[in-house]
Amino acid sequence: MPFNRDVKWLLAAFLFGLLALPPLVYFTGITVFGPYVNGGLGAFVSDFFADMARLRWFSWALVLGPLAIVTVWRTVSKIR
């Protein structure tokens, strides 16, 4: 059963990076830097997914960051 539990954690981390982080980055950006030049949240998310399709490293780093954190966390917790 631990494998199934690990897969659920990894899927949750991937979905968080894919669906929750872009709006959080958008709202942080407009708070710190001001309005997004290309439009609102929809334009930002659209540009984000377009950059993912173009294989831009920064978009994939945002998506895969939580996945990497969970992977390290689950690996370290199994070593102990």
Return per-residue pLDDT of the chain as tens, 80 residues.
467 888 999 999 999 999 999 999 999 999 999 999 999 999 999 999 999 999 999 999 999 999 999 999 988 888 87
pTM (2 d.p.): 0.85
**CA–CA separation, 80 and 60 (whole Å):** 30
> What's residue 13's pLDDT?
96
Structural domains in the chain (count): 1
The whole domain housing 61 covers 2-79
Q: What tokens does 26 get?
A: 């958008």
The pair of three-digit structure tokens given for residue 79, joined into one six-digit string = 């070593």
CA angle (23 as vertex; 20, 28 as ends), nearest 5: 120
Report yes or no: 66 and 25 within 8 Å, Cβ to Cβ: no
